[in-house]
Structure formats: structure tokens, C-alpha cells
Amino acid sequence: MKSADVGADGRIARRFAALKAEGRAGLVTFITAGDPDPAVSQAVLNGLPAAGADLIELGMPFTDPMADGPAIQASSLRALKAGMTVRKTLEMVRGFRKQDADTPIILMGYYNPIYAYGVEPFLADARAAGVDGLIVVDLPPEEDEELCIPAVKAGVSFVRLTTPTTDEARMPTVMRNTSGFVYYVSIAGITGTASASNTAVDAAVARLKRHTDLPVAVGFGIKTPDQAAEVARVADAAVVGSAIVTRLADGLADGGDGADAVRPGTVEDVLGFVGELAAGVRAARG
């Protein structure tokens, strides 16, 4: 299956082409929009590219994030408590695009908030804001008419998840309308828990490459620069989410009225950690 160059002016395809030309894998970072509040979240988002993020996943907060572990669940609750919405998430992307026209942004989340927004207006607004792709974890390929196909027609990539339980018979169905890149979930479970073995990741990436020419990004369970480097030796990108979200949560303190307060230097600490991850990824094939 050949990949489609969709998404806002092909940013995802161009970024992976540039990474291939450099002879290295990319770092995909995840944060939750609005965590712990819109201002801090925007500051982290804006700082990610300079810290070393090659692509960014921006989580859309949701009350029931069933694929996510405790760290990202808590981040969604903090963001919702701070008043974050889908519309405000798109405003964050607009703010980011004022200072970065090149780094791909993929919105990650669940279908319910998009359905409530309205698929057509959501896709139009997302595209106008500068969104390049979507990862919607609770829509299987059998429901592609709901969002996947409209997204691709609107020029927004639809990134599909594959897992260790996606067998050979299922793989063509999963890949059929996938675009942008393939996200391999390296463990059977929720985010931020166990980590897969290097041998298992190597075999999984090789198997996926037999089914698609799309780049393969590997995530779930990557917590350290060394783990990111191991993945970057075989995959096209390493995805780190829970570890970054946890680093941000570690910078929060009780503000005295029950509200979370951000300790001074927290944004810089989070971006410094991203820099360490990026250094690991960049050294992986050196």
C-alpha cells in the first residue's frame, strides 16, 4: 500500500522524508492540551520543537480515556478542570502555528468530543488551525466512514494504531485507509505501564514494513532516553507520552486552595527532559 501525502501541505510526509535524509529516526512527543492549565500547556507546546521534538501529538482531553494509563488520565482531568475544550485545543494549535509552520501536529483522542463538535466543522476548523493528522483510538476500521475517510478527504491524515494482537489476516483491513504514519502500540495494555522487549519491537516493525510503506512509529512504555534510543534503531520514530506528562505533573504543587500550582522552572524541566530524549534518539544510529 502506498502512502498518501495528506495533511496540511504534507507536513508529516515532509518531516519523515527529512528524517530519512538525515539517516535518523524521529522523536514524537505527547502532551495533553490544557494540562495543567492553558498557559503552561501552550508554553510547553511552543517549546517542544526547539527541545528536539520532530512531531507532536496533542491530546484532546476526555472524561473517559480508556486506552490511557493513570498519568494521562490524570492529565485529562487537570485539563478539563482548567476549562479545556476541543475548540480551545484548536486555538492552542493556532497559537503554535504563529511561531512554527513546519512541525507536524497530530491530535490524539476519542471520537465522542469530535462527534459532539460535528465531524465536518471539526475537520474544517482543525485543518484551518494547522492540524496535520488525527489518532482516534476508539474508531476501528469498520467505522472509517464516520471520520477516517472524511478526514483524508479534508486533507487531514488518519493515523492508525496497530498492536501485538493485530494478526496477518487483520493487517490489510487496518492499513487500508491509514495515512501519515503507522503507530505501533508495543504492549497489549494502557499507556505508561509496561515496556516491550527490544526483540519484540524489532520483529513487529519488520512485520509492519512488509504491509506498508508508511513510516512506523513505536510508542507505549518508552520512559527513558535509552529506551527511546533502542526503539529509534529500528523504527522510524519513537513516541514518548506518559513520561513527559509525568514530568510535568511532578512540577505541580498544592496551590493552597486545592488548585494545582506550577513550581518555577517546571516548563524548563519538561523541555530539558524532551531534550534528553531527543539526544538519545539522535544518537541511536550514530
pLDDT in tens, 7-54: 444 999 999 999 999 999 999 999 999 999 999 999 999 999 999 999
Mean pLDDT value across the chain: 90
Q: 4 pLDDT exceeds 60?
A: no
Distance CA 43, CA 25 (A): 25
The mean pLDDT value for 100-127 works out to 97
Q: What CATH code would you report for 8-283?
A: 3.20.20.70
pLDDT for the residue numbered 259? 47
pTM of the model: 0.92
On whether the CB atoms of residues 177 and 154 are closer than 8 A, the answer is: no
Domain limits, the chain:
8-283
User: Exposed, middle or buried, 157 (CB in 10 Å: 0-12/13-18/19+)?
Assistant: buried
pLDDT at 165: 84
Write out pLDDT tens, residues 246-276.
999 999 986 544 445 899 999 999 999 999 9
Q: What is the Cα–Cα distance from 74 to 57, expressed in whole angstroms?
A: 17
**What digits encode the pLDDT tens for the residues 59-103?**
999 998 777 888 999 999 999 999 999 999 999 999 999 999 999
* 219-243 pLDDT, tens digit each: 988 999 999 999 999 999 999 999 9
CA proximity to 26, closest of 231, 271, 242 = 231
Under a CB-based contact definition with an 8 Å cutoff, are residues 127 and 120 in contact? no
List 35, 37, 54, 57, catalytic entry: 57
Residue 57 appears among annotated catalytic residues: yes
Task: Compute CA distances 133 → 67, 75, 251, whole Å.
Answer: 19, 21, 30
Lowest-confidence segment of 134-148, 208-222, 256-270 by average pLDDT = 256-270
The alpha carbon of residue 267 and the mean position of all alpha carbons in its chain are separated, in whole angstroms, by 19
> Residue 193: is its pLDDT beyond 50?
no
Q: What is the mean pLDDT of residues 126-134?
A: 98
Task: Show the cell assigned to 273.
Answer: 527532559
Q: Looking up cell 529500528, which residue turns up?
A: 234
How many of the other CB atoms lie within 10 Å of CB of 39?
11
Catalytic residue among 35, 54, 68, 230: 68
Q: Give yes or no for a contact between 34 and 88, defined as CB atoms under 8 angstroms apart.
A: yes
The yes-or-no verdict on residue 214 having pLDDT over 80 is yes
**Whether 9 is catalytic:** no
Neighbours of 2 (CB within 10 A): 7
